[in-house]
Amino acid sequence: MKVKTSVTLSEELLAAIDQEKSIKNRSVLVEEATWQYLRNRRRLEREKREFEKINQNAAALNEDALDVLDFQDPS
């Protein structure tokens, strides 16, 4: 369901939007851009949590890797 709302944009941004020939509907542009922004934020937050987990376990992972290397045939 769509809900009518009011958003204040700078004159410069509005002019830039209006210069784009492929943009027929400002509301569609704002909605698509907002969804993209939210997806990017969620992805960055997820990646941040994953890096934190990796960093928390880095010492143990490095030890495991060194153990595996010790088992390899030196020839």
Q: What is the pTM of this model?
A: 0.68
Q: Is residue 10 scored above 70 in pLDDT?
A: yes
User: Residue 72's pLDDT is what?
Assistant: 81
The region that residue 4 occupies, defined by phi over 0 for left and psi between -120 and 50 for alpha, beta otherwise, is beta
Q: Is residue 50 scored above 70 in pLDDT?
A: yes
pLDDT tier for residue 75 given thresholds of 50, 70 and 90: low
Average pLDDT over residues 23-34: 94
Average pLDDT over residues 58-62: 88
Dihedral sign computed on CA atoms, order 56, 62, 67, 72: positive
> In the structure encoding, which two tokens stand for residue 50, read together?
């994953």
Residue 10: CA atoms inside 13 Å, Cβ hemisphere, count? 3
CA 51 – CA 74 distance, rounded (Å): 33
Average pLDDT over residues 12-26: 93
